Amino acid sequence: MKVALYARVSTEDKGQDPTTQLNIIRDLAERRGYEIYAEYVDYASGKDANRPKWKEMMERASHHDFDAIMALRLDRVMRSLVHMDQLIQQLFVYRMSLIFTDMEFDPTTPNGRLVINFLSAMAQWEREMISARTREGIAARKAKGQKFGRKKRDDLPLLEIAKLRMEGKGWKQVSTDTGIPKSTLIDRKAEIEEAMRSLGWSGNPTSVGVVSNKEGAV
């Protein structure tokens, strides 16, 4: 039997490596004597039905270039019940089987479709429960006063930046001189201006050499 191997991870960072999935699937295919037609890997959410490699694989499946799709588990293929139902209909038309490392389904049979639908519903339920628990946890921490978002850096050389600004340099030049992102400087504009006042700036752009420029530096 000729098979297409499919692996999916949610993101390319955070140490997720599809090679682990592929190695397990390859071993199973080899032990069963299957011929590997191709391998497809996506870095995307399981609820996304428009994953590029998945779509490419299904296009080849529509021409019956192979006999079955192999993946590690059902949740690597699809985690939306609606999308799974659509997939089952496609596989039925393509006369294509789904093979996982712990089970095998034939979508052309009523029992096969029932089991796939049941497991898909459980996968979607699990995903939605994780999402709900995450939202509840964030709400609870916010209620306790915990703040979210990027941590404000506390190593900003405010006096050095203030002096550069008082010399008439714009945000872009200050960013170049200090190596600090321009967006960070602008976010901390109020603190920088306070440091400038402590150095004698009165708030008048011309009072201590601070001039306006096309970047809006004052």
**Which tens digits make up the pLDDT trace of 35-84?**
999 999 999 887 787 899 999 999 999 999 999 999 988 778 876 666 77
Instruction: Decide if 89 contacts 78 (C-beta within 8 A).
Output: no
Nearest alpha carbon to residue 112 among 100, 127, 128: 100
Q: How far is CA 180 from the centre of its chain?
A: 27
Q: How confident is the model at residue 88 (pLDDT cuts 50, 70, 90)?
A: confident
Please give the residue that has the higher pLDDT: either 173 or 84.
173
Q: Is the pLDDT of residue 209 over 70?
A: no
Contacts of 29 (CB under 8 A, 6+ apart): 3, 5, 36, 70
Residue 100's DSSP bridge partners are 71
What mean pLDDT, rounded, does the chain reach?
78
Distance CA 210, CA 172 (A): 15
Enumerate the H helices of the chain as residue ranges: 19-32, 52-62, 74-77, 81-94, 110-143, 158-166, 171-178, 182-187, 189-198
Residues listed for the chain:
218
The answer to whether 38 and 5 have CB atoms below 8 angstroms apart is yes
pLDDT confidence of 131, banded at 50, 70, 90?
A: low
The predicted structure's pLDDT at residue 103: 64
Residue 212 reports pLDDT greater than 50: no
Closest by Cα among 176, 174, 137, 143 to 159: 174
User: What structural domains and CATH numbers belong to the chain?
Assistant: 2-139 (3.40.50.1390), 150-218 (no CATH)
The more confidently predicted of residues 3 and 122 is: 3
Q: What is the pLDDT of residues 92-116, one digit of tens each?
A: 788 888 888 866 555 556 666 666 6
